Amino acid sequence: MSDAAFEKTTRTPSPDHRRKRLTASLMIGLVAGIDNLGNGLAIAALLFAGPLASGLGAGVGVVLLSAAILALLVALRSTQPNSVALVQETGVAILAATVAAMATDLGDAPDAVKVATALAILGGSTLVTGALFWLVGHLRLGKLVRFFPYPVVAGFLAGSGWLLVEGALVMITGRHGLADGLPRLADPAIAVTMLAAVALAALLLLAMRRSDSPFAMPGLLLAAALAFHALLPAFGLTTAQARVWGWLPSVSEGAALRVPLPTEILALADWHRVLAALPAMLSVAVLGMLGLLLNVSGIELAQGEHAEGERPDGERAGGGQGRGSDIDADAELRCTGIANLLAGGIGGPSGYVGLGMTLLAGRLGATGRGAGLATAATILAGLFVAGWLVSVTPVFLTAGLILFLGVELLQEWLFGARRRLPPAEWLIVAAVVLAIAGVGFIEGLALGLAVSLAMFVYSYSRLPVIRSRHSGADLRSRVDRSPAAGLHLTNAGMAIEALQLQGYLFFGTAEQIVAPVRERLERPGWRPLRFLVIDFRHIKGMDSAAASVFRRVRNLLEGAGAVLVLSALPPAVETAFRRGGLDPDRDPALRRAADLDHALEACEDALLAGHAGSGNGTAADAPLLHHLQAMTGPHPRLADAVAALDTLHLQPEDLLIRAGEAASDVFIIGRGRVKVQVTLPGGRPLRLRTMTAGAVVGEIALLLGQARGADVVIETPATIHRLTAATLARLEREDPELALLLHRILATNLAEKMTQANRMIEQAAI
């Protein structure tokens, strides 16, 4: 088979495959459409209950028409072709309480005003949701929303479940609130409706746990409705009597479904009440965005699990996206946002892609856009009989469905979360639900966010902000000094304290710095602290409260006669310092350094400068003989060792050693400073070490017979003493004792360098 023929056969499905895909799409459309019809009736009954019962017909109309718009537009524009969008009941649960409070506040206002205001709140919420979806998707911020605290999301969803349970009670009793609704259950007719609704909710829960069939719920609802109408004549009751007792909606069977025009809503709605509902609208929008992104993540996960193989019909799993492809969450937000903007324009509820229906479409082989289109067609067809469906659907059926949805949310996000979350996080979920049930949804939202923020601050503040803590006796700069200087720093280095910080500094973490400083200043038996080095290399940022903490540290050190050295200070931290009244360039109690190494070097130089004035012969410019004596101890041949060395006088920027050269000599610094550096690929030199009087340079390459590994450049006017390989070889033949002394000097120096290297490794590992 040619490549072109093979490509054609792999890209063009066979007629049998097309028939299977069309059949699957029609099946999904039928199931999802019927599901939307049932949910639409229940949602409308939830919103338009009690004082708003006259708007039930209009409510059903806008809910179903919105569902059709959502299904159609998402099917046409989604990046996941077989997406099936649904009206989501969680947002409606939030608005139901807001709409009920509005109806109560309007009191004796005409029913038309109340219904129009309810539709304006419902549509306004959907418009806000659509605008938020589109804006977040347009700015490509979809992934940021996933950082919303999970316990708060779980609490919102569980709280929505509670609101649905309350809504079911409102649908049955016609009273808002438990205090007003529960006493109504003493009425036998209402009690019968409640028992029937509870029984239906229990049957739905049992059926959904025992069966994976998409027809289980519609079949059970249809059976319950038929059983109700079959039992009415068996008990000698008419539909008219059932309406009087509240078992059927108080609308005639011939009532026509009506979708109000947007102009009608605009003219009649009380817009002060609509604006008062804006916090609830924003809550619905945020919750909807989280729900959409959670569903998209679930579809991606399921798509990835099924993408490793092919279904028997040869189609790839995952909606035809291809093996393991991801869904563009931002594109989903944009297309769903446009759909919600159109749905909100007619006063309908919000919605987005349904996880269960979309996954079912993929399992059945509906890989194209036909599933969503068929769903929209089924809903539009149902609009013609929706008026009749409203009149013949028992109240216990819609209430039982709402009760089932509420209990399912509570089970999943309140009781189920108890097994998934740590106790502290689950308590946030429970607190949010209790706040929603006892006070209101907005208050529950605020409580959840506040508690989550407080727990985050508490948890983060417990993380150690001090990365490491060392004294100058065991943490040295990368400066090779004379043995005498090194001995002095070992004894006097306790006057230096170095703290390396990490993370983000704010009021909760910066306090960890004060206690160690105070403890070091008050520690008995230790040398007085002269320098506190604080290294900021691993700090990500700092707030103004943390800057005030460093001001306290600065004052503590000034009172003790010590200096605060700020190392690797980031620009943002320096700005916070200056705003807090700390100026590293002008404050005499502050110093700054480019990095920790330079900070330690400056502190060590200060300690050695004071030691040089004591007159004990260990100054940096002491004679070479004194440096060698400090290195090896007294020896009668030390003067001969000095005499065996050549003396060089060099100026700054002179090159003592060039990288890559063959090693033929070793150098001992008598006076001045040199630096060891390498040249980076870009041409920039990088300092590795600094060496002062008494240090030995180049012995490793000489002893191992290797080429020089780095450049050694003179930093200050220097006197350098050189031992050549030829001189050392001659002494080994002619004067073994003197040659052994020189080897001892080199070996002692190597041991000291090994000790310093180990310290550097320990420092780097911290």
For the stretch 104-153, pLDDT in tens is 888 888 888 999 999 999 999 999 999 999 999 999 887 766 666 778 77
Comparing 702 with 737, the larger pLDDT belongs to: 737
- The rounded distance, in Å, linking the Cα atoms of 209 and 480 is 74
Mean pLDDT of 745-751: 82
Q: What is the pLDDT of residue 763?
A: 54
Q: Is 733 exposed, middle or buried (0-12, 13-18, 19+ CB in 10 A)?
A: exposed
406: left (phi over 0), alpha (psi -120 to 50) or beta: alpha
Q: What DSSP string describes 53-108?
A: GGGHHHHHHHHHHHHHHHHHHHHHH-SSTT--EEE-HHHHHHHHHHHHHHHHHHTT
State how far the Cα of 85 lies from the Cα of 236, in Å rounded to an integer: 43
Q: Say what the pLDDT of residue 180 is.
A: 74
Q: How buried is residue 498: exposed, middle or buried, by Cβ count under 10 Å (0-12/13-18/19+)?
A: buried
Structurally, what CATH architecture does the domain formed by 624-765 represent? Answer: Sandwich (2.60)
Q: What is the pLDDT of residue 498?
A: 93
pLDDT tens-digit map of 474-503: 888 888 877 777 778 888 889 999 999 998
Given 3.30.750.24, 1.20.272.10, 3.40.50.300, 3.40.109.10, which CATH number is that of 466-612?
Answer: 3.30.750.24
Q: Is the pLDDT of residue 254 over 50?
A: no
Distance separating alpha carbons of residues 534 and 29, to the nearest angstrom: 66
DSSP state letter for 183: G
Residue type for 520, please? R
Q: Are 732 and 623 in contact (CB under 8 A)?
A: no
Task: Assign 651 to helix, strand or coil.
Answer: coil
Query: What does the pLDDT average to over 277-305?
Result: 78
Label the pairing between strands 711-714 and 655-657: antiparallel
Mean pLDDT, residues 65-84 taken together: 89
Structure confidence by residue, pLDDT tens digits, 658-717: 988 888 889 988 888 898 888 888 778 887 888 888 888 888 888 788 888 889 999 999
- 408-438, pLDDT tens digit by residue? 888 888 898 888 888 888 988 888 888 888 8
Answer whether residue 275 shows pLDDT above 90: yes
Predicted TM-score of the model (pTM): 0.59
Q: Where are the domains of the chain?
A: 3-403, 466-612, 624-765
